[in-house]
Each structure stands twice: as C-alpha cells, then as structure tokens.
Amino acid sequence: MERIISGTDMKKVDEYTINEVGIPSLVLMERAAKSVADLIEETTDKNSEVIAIAGTGNNGADGVAVCRMLYIDGYNTCIYIMGNIDKATQEFKTQIEIAQKVGIEIKDASRLTRDEMDKKHVIVDSIFGVGLSRNVDGDYKKLIEAINQSKAKVYAVDIPSGLNADTGKVMGVAVKADYTVCFGELKLGAVLYPGADYCGKLSFDNIGFPDVSYKKCETVYKYHTSDDLKLIPKRPNYSNKGTYGKLLVIAGNKDITGAAFLCAKAAFRTGAGLVRIFTAKENREVIQKLLPEAMVNVYDTDDFDKKALDACIEWANVIAIGPGIGTGGIQKNMVEAVLESRKNTVIDADGINVISQNVKLKKMLHKNVILTPHLGEMARFENKTIDEIKDNLVKSAFNINYMYNANGILKDARSVAVTQDDIYINMTGNSGMATAGSGDVLTGIVAGLLAIGCNVENATTLAPYIHGIAGDLVATKMPKASIMATDIIEEIKNIMPQ
C-alpha cells in the first residue's frame, strides 16, 4: 500500500516538517532537486542541453537547484525565470544566488521563444507546484503552450505546471510532461484524470518527510501495490469447496444471458468454491453449456416464485446481484430480499438502478454491502448529472459510505474504492477495459474475494486492483482495442497467489 495526498494536505506536511519537526526547507529542497536531477541523468545523455523554466515560488526554487546539480555534473544548463523576482520566496532567492555563484546563465523566461526551446533537449518544468492558486493566463499561458509545442523532453517538478494538485483539473492550460516526480507522495491531482494524462511517467520520492508530518492531513488516500496481494486469504490444505464460500449470483434476465456467465466465471477464477446462478428460465440451457461448474436456479418472469429466491438466499453466504437483471417490480423484490438477509453482498448495475428509484431500499443498505456503480449509475443513485459525479469523483464515492454506511467502488478510468476506513484510488487498468461486460467481471471478482474469506474492506479495495492488473496483462498480449471481458477473466489465474 502506498499513500496519495492532495496538494492542500501536502502543503500542511511541508509546513509541519519545516516548522514543527525542524527539517530546514532548503534541506528538503536539496533532496527534491536531487531526485529530479538523478532521473534526468538516468534518462538522458550528458550532452543534452537542459533548461529550467522556473516560477518564483518554491517549485521554481526546486527547478533552479535541479539545474545547478546538473551543471555541476557536466551538463550544459540555463535557467529561465518567469515572474517578478522581487516577490520571490526566500528559498527561490537563495537558490538563484547559489546558481549565479556556480556560474549558471540566468535569463528572463518571458523572452523565451519556441525556436529556442526546440534547440534544447530537456525542459525542467518548475513554474508552479502545489502553490498554483488560480487559472493560468497571460504570459504564463503562452509559455506553457510553447513548452507543449516544443520538441524537448519535459520533466515536471512535483506536478506539471497548471494542474490543480487536489483535483487533477487543468487550470486553463497545463504542461504536458514526459516525466513527473512528485515529492512526498503521489499527488491526488497527478493521479486523477485529466491530470494523470499530463504527467507522463509518474513517480514519487519521499525526500525525507517523517510519518509524524502526515497527521495533519485531512485525508490520506491509498493505492494498492503488488505486496498487498498477500491480503488475499491463503487456501488451507485441509479444506473443501464449502470452505471457499457459497456464492449466489443473481444476474441476467430473459433478454440478457452474458452478465450472469461473466460474473460467475470471474468469481470461480478468483477462487469461489460454489457458485449458484439465479436467473430467468430462458438462460438455463446456455449457462449450463457455458459454465457447467455453476448450479443454476431459474425463475419465470410471468410467474415469479419468491420462495425459490428465498431458498437460494438462505443457502448463500455471499450474494452478487444486479448485472442485467432489469429494473421492474420483480427486481425490486429481489433486491429487497437480498438486503433483508444482511449477508455479504455485491450490488451492481440494475441492482443499483433499482435502489436509486427507491428510498426504502436506500435506507436498507448496510455495512456488508459493496456497491459498484459506474458514473451513469452513480449519477442516477445521487440524482446528479454524470459531469457532476466526474467533477467530484472522490467525494461521490465517499458518499456511499458517509450517507449509506455501505462500501463502494465508483468505476472509472481511476476507480475509487471506499470503505469505512479508507479511500483507495486504483492505479491499474487501461482503456482496453472499457468494453461490454468488464464491469460484470469486476462484480465477480469482488464476490469471489468475499467467498474465499476476504473481509468486506479488503474485497472492496483489492477487487479493482486485481481487475486492473488482469486488464493490463491482457494488454501485453493484444491491442487494447481487441480486449474483451472474457480475456480479462482468463488473466485472473495469473494474479491469484499459488
């Protein structure tokens, strides 16, 4: 697990470290600059001409220090200052004095032309960091546009200039970097879209902030790394299929067959011991052919037998409900019966749509429920527009827990998983996963994790991580355009622990 911090919180970490812990600002800066200088040395040859384009805040001070380090190591460097040096931070003035004494040429960035930039190989973007406080316009805007048109390789210091470090929004215009090194932790604004698209290869360097400095943060976001796969429960030798859960998948209706199959198969590949599918009678034959491992119970849409459903719910210890079920009266009764059971439950797609239309069902949500809406479903659930959800991705996901005491995975290019303890941002996956049925596979993974004994919190945060790695593994074998949901399922077996 690693942390992700908003720009606003990172400023608090900075302040606490400098003022309370007592690590001097220039010491942190030296390490920050060193990590960018090292990256440039690793990824360019020594004949490269490097320029730092520096604002007059501490981000600019970092950039000046990067240039000085490269100069000392034999690079041909030059510093271009953007802004009024009289209003510069003390650290910036200090870094400029040092650079001057070392012998580096210092120029005015407002005169820097595209032609001149093209002659350079590397641009160190240090115009704005987490201190960006308003939209970028005027000469700053022109400068950033010129950087984006130039042929030079761009290294962003802390965050590409112009990105909102809290939200990932582009504040008018933003630098398109080839590399970004965040200081402390990954910045939320570098991880969320559209910001993520501006960062190029993204990395972070702690630069010496102690853990104690993070206690002032309002929210510490997290993301999973491969180490966290150890949270998946081990399979004891002395076990049988009952040990790995009795999963009831309520999916599909008389017009939709695939959803139940995809969800159930993904759950099997994740390790579920027993899977029973409850679906419309029209689906029985095809599901039995596609997935003979699953048990199948069916209902008649025109003559719904609630007792059969109740028996299935009684049998199960984990339930996944929603993919392709439809949103009529029968479906409302199904969701209600499932919620009444208070068992570990994943609710997706139409299951969420049914709840969105029904205040009583919303009130029945509980702490063992994991909702997995995509943006459209979340918009209906919160009675907002998709744009409103997109603009407040993290907050919308957070509301699933805050308002309804449930867990949630708000699915997007960066899915946000929320439990009562944590907010995880998923860093795996790719655009090839934007394909029909991909969400049904995720539902199956969540349910499978619950079935094998993951607690609700770990299932909520690990499922999008595993789903994304599966998608990334598929992408190593075929173009993203060709990826189908069934391909994603087949990679789950390459991720699960032996």
Ligand X SMILES: Nc1ncnc2c1ncn2[C@@H]1O[C@H](COP(=O)(O)OP(=O)(O)O)[C@@H](O)[C@H]1O
Beta-bridge partners for 78: 51, 105
Nearest to 445, CA basis, from 482, 493, 477: 493
Binding status of residue 25 toward ligand NAX by CB under 6 A:
yes
**Sites for K ion among residues 188-227 (CB under 5 A):** none
Binding status of residue 411 toward ligand X by CB under 6 A:
yes
Binding status of residue 140 toward ligand NAX by CB under 6 A:
yes
Binding status of residue 413 toward ligand X by CB under 6 A:
yes
**Distance of alpha carbon 476 from alpha carbon 492, whole angstroms:** 14
Interacting residue with ligand X among 26, 220, 295, 434 (CB under 6 A): 434
The answer to whether 226 is a known ligand-binding residue is: no
CB of 416 to ligand X, least distance (A): 10
438 binds, among K ion, ligand NAX, ligand X, none (CB under 5 to 8 A by kind): ligand X
Binding status of residue 158 toward ligand NAX by CB under 6 A:
yes
415 binds, among ligand X, K ion, ligand NAX, none (CB under 5 to 8 A by kind): ligand X
Binding status of residue 58 toward ligand NAX by CB under 6 A:
yes
**Distance of alpha carbon 116 from alpha carbon 114, whole angstroms:** 5
Nearest to 213, CA basis, from 19, 8, 27, 25: 19
Interacting residue with ligand X among 253, 283, 415, 458 (CB under 6 A): 415
Query: In this structure, what token pair is assigned to residue 237?
Result: 């030798």
**Sites for ligand NAX among residues 30-49 (CB under 6 A):** 32
The answer to whether 189 is a known ligand-binding residue is: no
**Distance of alpha carbon 197 from alpha carbon 204, whole angstroms:** 16
**Distance of alpha carbon 192 from alpha carbon 204, whole angstroms:** 15
Binding status of residue 136 toward ligand NAX by CB under 6 A:
yes
**Distance of alpha carbon 87 from alpha carbon 468, whole angstroms:** 46
In the chain, % helix, strand, coil (3-state, to 5) comes to 50, 20, 35
Interacting residue with ligand NAX among 57, 245, 322, 323 (CB under 6 A): 57
Using the contact rule CB under 6 A, the part of the chain among 78-86, 173-181, 339-347, 430-438 near ligand X is 430-438
Binding status of residue 430 toward ligand X by CB under 6 A:
yes
Letters for 165-184 (x = contact with ligand NAX by CB under 6 A, - = none) are: ------------------x-
For residue 140, CA distances in Å to 127, 146, 405, 483 come to 9, 10, 45, 41
**DSSP one-letter code for 354:** H
Interacting residue with ligand X among 222, 265, 276, 467 (CB under 6 A): 467
Query: Is 363 exposed, middle or buried (CB count within 10 Å of its CB: 0-12, 13-18, 19+)?
Result: exposed
The residue written with tokens 């002659």 in the block is 119
Query: In this structure, what token pair is assigned to residue 93?
Result: 């003035």
Q: Give the CA angle between residues 395, 334, 258 to the nearest 5°.
A: 80
Interacting residue with K ion among 132, 157, 275, 316 (CB under 5 A): 157
Using the contact rule CB under 6 A, the part of the chain among 73-81, 352-360, 385-393, 406-414 near ligand X is 406-414
Sign of CA dihedral 94, 95, 98, 99: negative
The answer to whether 440 is a known ligand-binding residue is: yes
161 binds, among ligand X, K ion, ligand NAX, none (CB under 5 to 8 A by kind): K ion
The angle that helices 349-356 and 438-451 make with each other, rounded to 10 degrees, is 90
Cis peptide, bond prior to residue 373, ω within 30 of zero: no
Binding status of residue 124 toward K ion by CB under 5 A:
no
Residues that bind K ion (CB under 5 A): 125, 156-157, 161
Residues that bind ligand X (CB under 6 A): 374, 411-413, 415, 429-431, 433-434, 436-440, 442, 467
Residue ranges for the known binding site for K(+) are 59, 125, 161
Residues that bind ligand NAX (CB under 6 A): 14, 18, 25, 28-29, 32, 55-60, 62, 89, 128-136, 140, 157-158, 183
